[in-house]
């Protein structure tokens, strides 16, 4: 499809069904969830293990080709955990695995196919035993671009950005731009420059759902049920 053809009412109905499914089957898998979580493709968001917590206004997007996986496998009797702060967004294909502890701060954006792990999972010489592990800390307002890998023991400072397909094996300071394999600093961010944060989407006093509804109405304006069916059955260059 070259554009979306379904009408607004179909978008709204799907949203209601998705929310009900998520509340019944997905939310109980978390140890705790903050206010107003939102899930797209909740059937493809897999939560496995104990001590997985997310904050307020957590958004996650799963798909059949790129499911989200949050998995805790405690290391040698330890207490693995995944803690994600307020206003965070997790995109399709993101995988987070913890043996002893992964913590992600507020307002973070994890783009498609990011991978965060606090363990090697296999030893270099003894492949049947777990490898080394060390906690991962991601600060506030961090943006991990497409397909970033964050290895065990890494701390990423507030406001930093890691470029697409980078492999982060060492700490990233606050207000830095890193990229490459292994990731190195390629720029910096002015902490005093004007900026918008994800929390601003929810701090205006207007409910986020109202904002989304208005956006969907405008995006799908003019779409009809018959036009939708025609686009599905008889697609052409105009669809």
Which residues are designated catalytic?
122
Query: Could you tell me which residues are beta bridge partners of residue 156?
Result: 138, 172
Give yes or no for a contact between 54 and 88, defined as CB atoms under 8 angstroms apart.
yes
Rounded CA-CA distance 54/3 in Å is 33
Rounded CA-CA distance 40/154 in Å is 29
In 3D, which of 145, 142, 166 has the Cα closest to residue 156?
142
Measured CA distances, 41 to 19, 63, 87, 109 (Å): 10, 6, 19, 18
What residues contact residue 44 under an 8 Å CB cut-off, 6+ apart?
A: 62, 63, 64, 66, 67, 68, 92
Measured CA distances, 185 to 42, 83, 107, 177 (Å): 36, 26, 22, 6
Q: Give the distance from CA 118 to its chain's centroid.
A: 17
């Amino acid at each position: 499809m070259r554009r979306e053809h379904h009408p607004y009412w179909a978008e709204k109905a799907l949203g209601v069904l998705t929310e009900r499914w998520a509340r019944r089957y997905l939310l109980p898998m978390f140890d705790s969830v903050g206010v107003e979580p939102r899930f797209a493709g909740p059937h493809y968001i897999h939560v496995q293990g104990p001590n997985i917590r997310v904050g307020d206004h957590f958004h996650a997007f799963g798909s059949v080709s790129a499911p989200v996986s949050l998995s805790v496998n405690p290391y040698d009797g330890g207490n693995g955990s995944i803690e994600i702060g307020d206003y965070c967004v997790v995109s399709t294909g993101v995988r987070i695995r913890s043996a002893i502890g992964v913590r992600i701060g507020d307002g973070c954006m994890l783009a498609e196919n990011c991978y965060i792990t606090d363990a090697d999972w296999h030893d270099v010489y003894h492949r049947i035993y777990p490898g080394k592990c060390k906690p991962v800390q991601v600060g506030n307002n961090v943006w991990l671009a497409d397909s970033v890998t964050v290895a065990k023991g890494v701390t990423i400072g507030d406001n930093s950005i890691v470029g697409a397909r980078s492999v982060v094996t060492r700490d990233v300071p606050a207000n830095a731009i890193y990229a490459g394999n292994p990731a190195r600093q390629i720029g910096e961010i002015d902490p005093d420059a004007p900026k918008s944060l994800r929390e601003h989407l929810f701090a205006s006093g207007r409910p986020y759902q109202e904002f989304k509804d208005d956006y969907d109405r405008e995006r799908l304006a003019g779409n009809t049920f018959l036009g939708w069916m025609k686009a599905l059955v008889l697609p052409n260059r105009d669809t």
